[in-house]
Amino acid sequence: MTPTSASYDRSSATRFPVAVDSALRTAGWEPGRWDIKQAEYWADALRDHTTPAGHRHTVFPAAVEAWAEFGGLTV
């Protein structure tokens, strides 16, 4: 069974392999990083966007969670 994102301990220092953890920390990530307000802002902006072809986007909760934790990092 694969755990859902809600079951991860976002403050765990052993969540990622060492190389991944190092790259994320170099980019500014740290355990417990969580900016849901900014993530919701990005999600709303994407939902409100219409492509030149007239398509609208659907934003899934997992995407918002990923933005909350990793949004704005440059790796």
Task: Tell me the per-residue pLDDT of 27-60, one tens digit each, with 9 for 90 and over.
Answer: 999 999 999 999 999 999 999 999 999 999 999 9
pLDDT at 9 over 80: no
pLDDT at 1 over 70: no
Give the bridge partners for 25, in sequence order. none
pTM above 0.95, yes or no: no
Query: For residue 60, what is the DSSP state?
Result: -
Q: Are the C-beta atoms of residues 40 and 64 closer than 8 Å to each other?
A: yes
Q: Band of the pLDDT at 14, cuts 50, 70, 90?
A: confident
Q: 26: helix, coil or strand?
A: helix
